[in-house]
Amino acid sequence: MNDLLEIPTFLDRRSEPPVKHRHAPKSKLKMTKPPKPTGRFKKAELMKLQLWDEAPRIGSGLRFVYVKTGWKWVYLREHGFNINTTRIRKAKFNLILAHTKRREASE
């Protein structure tokens, strides 16, 4: 090792064959379906809504939520593995629904 730029033998991997990486089988990569709602949301309707800050537990943006409408309140449950629920006033929900329909009509 007279040359200072020469690679030491224990670091030189040019003579070794490349390592083959094992990938996970495709059966393990499949996404599982979220569980169907139970209890109060068993007969709820799945809807796509544009939320702002009305339901902070669920989040904002375009969301898929289960909706159960009552006399005074509308109960929302997040679609997916996170089971976050909240309730909002029916009048506010009607405004959200109208806004979402206008948004879909403009696209």
Average pLDDT, rounded, for the chain: 85
Identify which of 19-28, 32-41, 70-79 has the greatest average pLDDT: 70-79
pLDDT in tens, 26-49: 666 667 778 888 888 899 999 999
Report angle CA 61, 66, 72 to the nearest 5 degrees.
Answer: 100
Q: Which strands, in side-by-side order, build the sheet including 61-69? A: 45-51, 61-69, 73-78, 85-89
Beta bridge partners of 77: 66, 85
Rounded mean pLDDT of 50-63?
91
pTM over 0.75: no
For residue 12, pLDDT over 70 is answered with yes
DSSP 34-92: PPPP-GGGTTPEEEEEEESSS-TTT-SEEEEEEEEE-SSEEEEEESSS---EEEEEHHH
**Residues 69, 90 contacting (CB under 8 angstroms):** yes
